[in-house]
Structure 1
């Protein structure tokens, strides 16, 4: 069997597969890239060829333009391809629409690159599927025991409750444009909110893409051209930065909310001036991370980015071999827009 470090190794450009001569989620333009999902810290433009799920390719085209790569190849869940003798497969990661774990097989060794993932149900994307492997490469965004995220329905319930308590105030929800915004909308619909939801222009194109992919968001209206003190008792969603700029000033005595796993940290909510913190994350919390390691019981765990120290200690206590790759270039949570093409 080939050694893991001979199949995948960290480089300044990202995880590199020497036998296949491709990178996974490279942080700079390369000749051949396998991309796990559409957030801009993992999916960059300028690669010669990109292999990803069809939904991730559609997201990249929407965000960067049709010329984001010279050659694109769709590989959907359960499908396999071979490049230079290395097998590549995709399995759901549960992070955002189209997100995938990249499965790499060669000479009897199976390595799984999770990208970003979560284990709980998300009405806007396929649910995470554990893939048996020799080496599991995991993120660690919320890799500390303090990060135990409450049920999504409870957090959305707090938003609905606030709407009932303050019927004259607009409720502005900061949510990242790809994945989080659409998830918040769907969770509101599941909670019984049938009224139109108003959105910042940064969300409109990706909302339409989700609709084309079969995700019903219900009645959506643009939060533009409104009179001052508008939308009392209504919900408006925009990028987190928008709830703190001029866009927010047109609304009626707004209740500012922010949907993020980091809202579990009260100091972060105070720093942003968030009145209604909503602990809704698209990343695995501590329990989901450790449950995944227990489910898989791989020979090795590699931790790519985030708070790796806690997980390294947990693995040691539980008799698992783990190492930190310390890759750079990945955000703590999800970015608002690609830097070269604002949403």
Structure 2
């Protein structure tokens, strides 16, 4: 069987014909394999879903009663048989529960990374290199300009700014799933033991992370009054919120706030300027250029298929090194969560 016969793009998403299942489909399907819980990969409306326990829990929290699918939880490394096709999941290092989908059939192994990163993340298992014939990689930051600095160093920038401006509130825009919890956990690792205030939109997912053993406490709601009814003084405090909240009327309650944004896109100064970000924090949940190319070298596949981003540069890099590479041109995926 050719790789294209085993796995190929369709309008609904990447489809495994022998197994009759889709990976991260963009439309409702009978059987879906979900790599992680971000909304552009994990949609509601599927008949059945195969994913890690954590991803299924994230989908249940995010979709509530809309998440009616039959659910099969797979632990990392656990193999299931789907219509004769072997399927197992390997850590992707992207967010809690994120996984690479490993498909095996007729002596052929294909790996679909979903979104991934290679640097340490205290909120989820590290990416695992899986040798394969066909490696299907994301390419969100697949340009040489994207080199993400040390995450600890970026968090220390935030703490230094807090010390420099003790009268101001630092509003940190961070995506609700993965980025917010990672920033909080890194703050804790840097010795920040004061309460961290969070926007209400982050509460359920932070609670879920803690239920899976990721310690984020102490967290407090970023409300105008505390539990005793006293007005909250946010001077000198760190508040984590969705990126869109930084420019909303909600942000006006804080004293002279310092707008911060945690994203790999903060490497591009114009993006920071457009968003009105005073303190850009280059913290990404995706692989940067070096991580992408190092991963391809480590996996050493017969063919590289590229999707979800800047395909051309990564394909050109691979071809210059004698590798077979091609774009997939999948549609329906966004990079808003970074």
In structure 2, distance between residues paired with 1:233 and 1:123: 25
Please list every run of 5 or more consecutive structure 2 residues that lacks an aligned counterpart in the other structure. Answer: none
In the alignment, structure 1 residue 243 sits paired with structure 2 residue 242: no
Q: Which residue of 2 aligns with 1:222?
A: 221
Contact kept? 2:32, 2:46, Cα under 8 Å: yes
Q: Which residue of 1 aligns with 2:3?
A: 4
Q: How much does 1:192 deviate?
A: 1.0
Tell me by how many angstroms 1:333 deviates: 3.9
Which residue of structure 2 lines up, in the alignment, with residue 305 of structure 1? 308
Q: How does 1:290-329 map to 2 (within 5 A)?
A: 290-329=293-332
**For the aligned residues, what is the CA RMSD?**
1.1
Contact 2:139 2:309 in 1 (8 A): yes
1:15 to 2:49 alignment: no
1:140 match: 139
Across the two proteins, how many residue pairs are aligned to each other?
334
Could you tell me which of 288, 291, 298 is aligned with 1:285?
288
Q: Which residue of 2 aligns with 1:116?
A: 115
Give the match's secondary structure for 2:69: strand
227-236 or 213-222: bigger deviation: 227-236
Q: Which residue of 1 aligns with 2:209?
A: 210
Q: Secondary structure at the match of 1:65?
A: helix
Residue 182 of structure 2 corresponds to 183
Deviations 1:148-196 (A, max 9, x none): 0000011001000001100000000000000000000000011111100
Distance in 1 of aligned mates of 2:163 and 2:223: 24
Q: Find the aligned partners of 1:305 and 1:206 in 2 and give their Cα distance.
A: 25
Equivalent residue number for residue 272 of structure 2: 269
Could you tell me how far apart the structure 2 residues matched to 1:87 and 1:239 are? 38
SS of the equivalent of 1:47 reads: coil
Give the alignment's TM-score, normalised by structure 2: 0.97
Q: CA deviation at 1:247?
A: 1.1
Q: What SS does the aligned partner of 2:245 have?
A: helix
How far 1:197 sits from its partner (Å)? Answer: 0.2
Asked if 1 retains the 8 angstrom alpha-carbon contact of 2:224 and 2:231, the reply is no
Gaps of 5+ in 1: 336-343
Q: Determine the structure 2 residue equivalent to 1:338.
A: none
Cα drift, residue 225 of structure 1: 2.5
Displacement of 1:229 = 8.6
User: 1:69 and 1:35 mapped to 2: Cα distance?
Assistant: 15
Counterpart in the other structure of 2:29? 30
Aligned to 1:252: 255
* Contact 2:224–2:232 under 8 Å retained in 1: no
The residue aligned with 1:57 is 56
* Contact 2:224 2:253 survives alignment (8 Å): no
Cα distance, 1:274 vs structure 2: 0.2
Q: Residue 330 of structure 1 aligns with which residue? A: 333
| TM-score after normalising by structure 1 | 0.96
Aligned to 1:237, the other structure's residue is in SS state: strand
Task: Say yes or no: does 1:106 pair with 2:105.
Answer: yes
The 8 Å contact of residues 7 and 19 in structure 1, kept in 2 or not, is answered as: yes
- TM-superposed deviation, 1:230: 3.4
